[in-house]
Amino acid sequence: MNKMTLNLGPQHPATHGVLRLIIDLDGEEVVSAEPDIGYLHRGMEKLAETRNYYQYLPMVDRIDYLSGFFYSYAFCNAVEELNHIKVPQKASYIRIMLMELNRISSHLLWFGTYLIDLGAISPIFYAFRERELIMDYFEKITGQRMMYNYFTFGGVRHDIPFFDDVQSIINTIGDKIGDYERLLSENPIFLDRTVNVGVISEKKATEWALTGPNLRASGVLSDFRVNMPIYDDIDFDIVLTNEGDCYSRYLVRIYEMRESIKIIQQCIQWLGQCSSRDLPFLEKVTLKTFPNQEVFSSVEAPRGLSMCYLNSIGGNTPYRVKWRTSSFYSTQILKDILVGVTVPEIMAIYGSLDVVLPEVDR
Amino acid sequence: MPDINIIREHFPNNIIEAGKLDASFNIIEVLSFLKNCPELSFDMLLSIIAIDYIHYNELIYCLLSTHLNESIKVSVKMKNEAKSVTAIYKSAYFDECEIYDLFGIKFTGNPNLKRLLLPQSWAGHPLKKDYILNDERLKWNE
């Protein structure tokens, strides 16, 4: 057999961005795969060193444009820890509610695009129809559809007046998730493409540092939300499957959307109480000097554990900011799991990992 | 913080300060102990963070134990050369390449150390504090 080197990307529609994969093929079989990243590197960490904290805040949404609230939260939380700012409880509930809505919208986008990767065109129309409800809501309260810049140090920028909207959104989405499942979960073509494809064992998942739904699909019980103090009063289940193939990664995300709906329901209940209407949503702070300290602030984003490392040596600019993003590690594992698969399976596996390239390159 | 006494017993010469275990002289031994010790089992290397303190560099290894749901930070202080930990944690490969790319720290033992994010032809290491910002657009608010 003749060996062939296939250059996949960086401008390839199914990579959802600018990932380049250098793949050596023996016929249909992949012999080796090497991910090449950096096409979207914006120097997020260097830019932080020349800006003050307020100037850097709007930029962190852009690290992952599909789940901006999580990165805002991680950065705000880091600065709040650094300055010992106590966030009002109402702001925490608003943050959780918006983050969970953001998780649903991110998973919906993954759902639609993943099925396009597999050749099913119609699910993306359904997924975007529901995602649009969330986007419209975000636009209503933050003025933006994607880069929100809504969380700030000490709370959130505005109060939220519209809770009935959220209730109707989650009711609709709750129904529609059932539709998606009826459409796909037992669809023989979908099962053919995903069951037993791209199996990641528990050991492999941990040693390549996968986190989030990808890790939980491999049977590792690990969800950073249980460690986050703001989720203390929230009751939710961690979704876990054991097979580690593309189909179980699909299942984990579908069930996670249901769990998110459960969480949002609890937030609406708390926020909808008459007594919470006049509570403060922002702790007014003036940040002039910063202590000489370092903080690690983590959050369970839709794609896994995201961590903001913030190092301050005084002054009003960070000395060093480092972002730990989960897609960075989901890309790295391709080197291992693509070996031995066939060409049509490459995109089925890569798509199932839910990689977002701006998050990889930062 | 996990059970510190086990770590103290095995490595009496390593100091724990500010929540970080200092392992500047025996990083390989410390990490392989933390990974393989059944009571601790830090099976995941979340990330390696590099910081340039001008006179020296610091690396912080963030480890997570998925069984115990606990994390620990191990720090290494050095000049410009560190030991690669890819033999213990496979996920360290991209991290080490990125740190080499942005800080110029060389990792001995890394199978294929190369620039990861920047073009191979790039000059200098941008996250170092002595890197000259020759781009006017970066200076607009200084």
- Chain B within 8 Å of A37 (Cβ-Cβ)? yes
Q: Where are the domains of chain A?
A: 41-326
- Cβ contact (<8 Å) for A41 and B47? no
- Cβ contact (<8 Å) for B66 and A221? yes
- Chain B within 8 Å of A317 (Cβ-Cβ)? no
Q: Provide the chain A residues 172-231 that lie in CB contact (below 8 A) with chain B.
A: 206-209, 211, 215, 220-222, 226-227
A227: chain B residues, CB-CB within 8 Å: 69
Query: A8 to chain B nearest CA, in Å?
Result: 17
Closest by Cβ to A46, choosing from B18, B45, B127: B127
- Chain B within 8 Å of A296 (Cβ-Cβ)? yes
Query: A68 to chain B nearest CA, in Å?
Result: 21
Quick: pLDDT tens for A28-80. Answer: 889 989 898 888 888 888 888 888 888 888 889 888 888 889 999 999 999 98
The count of C-alpha atoms lying within 13 angstroms of the C-alpha of B87, restricted to the half-sphere facing its C-beta, is 10
Q: Tell me if residue B78 falls in helix, strand or coil.
A: strand
pLDDT band of A19, cuts 50, 70, 90: confident
**A337 within 8 A of A329, measured Cβ to Cβ:** no
- Cβ contact (<8 Å) for B141 and A51? yes
Which pLDDT belongs to residue A103?
92
Quick: pLDDT tens for A253-306. Answer: 999 999 999 999 888 888 877 566 677 778 787 777 778 888 999 999 998 899
Which pLDDT belongs to residue B42?
87
| CATH no. for A41-326 | 1.10.645.10
Which pLDDT belongs to residue A104?
92
* Residue owning tokens 């930070």: B73
In order of start, what are the domains of chain B with their CATH numbers? Answer: 4-141 (3.30.460.80)
- Cβ contact (<8 Å) for A55 and B90? no
Distance CA(A224)–CA(A250), nearest Å, equals 20
Which pLDDT belongs to residue A106?
92
Quick: pLDDT tens for A350-359. Answer: 888 888 888 8
pLDDT band of A316, cuts 50, 70, 90: confident
Most A CBs within 10 A among B59, B62, B99, hence the mutation to make, goes to B62
Tokens of A191: 């099962």
Which pLDDT belongs to residue A309?
92
Distance CA(B117)–CA(A333), nearest Å, equals 17
- Cβ contact (<8 Å) for B118 and A38? yes
A332: chain B residues, CB-CB within 8 Å: 91, 93-94
- Cβ contact (<8 Å) for B118 and A50? no
For chain A, strand residue ranges (E) read 3-8, 20-26, 29-36, 151-152, 155-156, 292-301, 304-313, 320-324
B119: chain A residues, CB-CB within 8 Å: 38
B89: chain A residues, CB-CB within 8 Å: 207, 209
Which pLDDT belongs to residue B38?
79
Which pLDDT belongs to residue A149?
87
Closest by Cβ to A37, choosing from B91, B93, B117: B117
Most B CBs within 10 A among A59, A292, A320, A335, hence the mutation to make, goes to A320
How many percent of chain A have pLDDT more than 70?
98
Query: Residue range A186-208: average pLDDT?
Result: 88
Angle between helices A343-352 and A246-272 (to 10 degrees): 20
- Cβ contact (<8 Å) for A311 and B51? yes
Per-residue pLDDT of chain B (142 residues; tens, 9 = 90+): 566 777 777 777 777 777 788 777 888 888 888 888 877 888 889 999 999 888 899 999 999 888 888 888 888 888 888 888 888 898 899 999 999 989 889 888 888 888 888 888 888 888 888 876 666 665 555 5
* ipTM associated with this complex: 0.85
Nearest CA in chain A to B94: A332
Nearest to B74 by CA among B37, B129, B20: B20
Which pLDDT belongs to residue A323?
92
Nearest CA in chain A to B142: A50
